[in-house]
Amino acid sequence: MAIRAVFFDIDGTLLNDRKHVQKSTQQAIKNMKKQGILVGVATGRGPAFVAPFMENLGLDCAITYNGQYIFTRDRVLYQNQLPKSTVYRVIKYASEQRRDISLGTSSGLVGSNIINMGTSRFGQWLSQIIPKRWTKIVTRSFKHIVRRVKPQSLNSLMTLMRQPVFQIVLVATKEQSDRIAEQFPHLTITRSSPYSADLISKGMSKIKGIARVAREFDIEMSEVMAFGDSDNDIEMLSGVGLSVAMGNATEQIKKIASYTTASNNDDGISKALSHFGIIHQKTDKVFSSSDDNFNKVKDFHQLMDGETCETPRVYDIVEGGHRSDFKAEEIVEFLYAASNGDQEAFAQAVRRLHQAVDKAADKVLAKPHPETPLVGQVDALTDLLYFTYGSFVLMGVDPKPFFDTVHEANIGKIFPDGKAHFDPETHKILKPDDWEEHFAPEPAIKRELDRQIQKSLHKS
């Protein structure tokens, strides 16, 4: 399963508690962009709030207002405004219930001063430190103070609703949200804050927005990775190929996610991306190569073996033999695929391979070897790489997506505890129970091959 798109929730995920994007996250996004991975956000926030992140982080797209308004860096992909009659009814309901309300337009969330304060940095910080059992008391006191300073005007809301409205936000606790849902069954109610409810069109959601973007860029949902922390991310995390809960996420989010990473204050995003081999996370303990594929394999061995070699060394004959055995198995698999299931043709190919090995051994023994063993091993392995790339060239296949798929399949063998598990008798690497479903590489390889074939046909 090669990951071709990654989406982040914003509050509590992309942003730390100080409302900043951590440097490790910024670097991870740059790394993914270099690999051609589509990177975006999926949020209940509006496009005006998201626009600076698009510019500063170089994001490719944004799913805002919980899927109601979707845009890239150069165009609007989708917008679904609420019917004026629905907006009017909700405004009247809010007025009758003395419930503050804001309207989500393309230029921002406008209306209630209480909601403006609640969605500010201070309000978001406050919502994280106030115990949930105090939510009703804090909300009631906060509303009373703000209303005394500047009460909400019904007339101003009626003027605002002349603009396209994509989302409505009401001050409401969880219990009050349930009553609002009963009053407006044709709307979907989501929550990203203990103090407010987001009202959007029925059937709309972050995951529906991600699906629209995936179709636009010819990406399978199984090739999408998403990060979240709040209960309004449940549907999103349940619908993508690889889901990550932040360390600060709710328990419900952690239960349904494929993996739980560190918190939004502790490099959680970069650590998860590194864990799944999507980026290489540099440390002072190991050297990094300019070859990103090498770095990914090094990450794999670091997870599997607990350490990697940081100083060039030579293989002895036993270990060198083991490494050669691995390569020989793949060469035999390659020949079987080339035989197209013809058992006799395959047997003949294997016999020719034996002859080729004997011929190569005679050739090696017949010539002088002034080079050191280390130079000889590096030279031979480099030639293997070169010949392998040459085989892909002559097949007309771009190997990079397939390398990523196989790498992520190998990383998928890491268990939820972050460690490799081995059979106590054979010492072979064990696979988690869901490995075949989520990480088996063959379906992803076929999809990518089909994509490359179709792309080449459209060129001609």
pLDDT tens per residue across span 91-150: 999 888 888 899 999 988 887 776 665 554 445 444 554 455 554 455 455 444 444 444
Lowest mean pLDDT among 185-194, 260-269, 314-323, 397-406: 185-194
* CA atoms of 103 and 170, how far apart (whole Å): 9
pTM over 0.85: no
How does pLDDT run across 234-272, given as a tens digit for each residue? 999 999 999 999 999 999 999 999 899 999 999 999 999
Question: Given this model, what pLDDT does residue 147 score?
Answer: 45
Tell me the two tokens of residue 168: 């409505």
How does pLDDT run across 376-392, given as a tens digit for each residue? 999 999 999 999 999 99
Question: Given this model, what pLDDT does residue 458 score?
Answer: 83
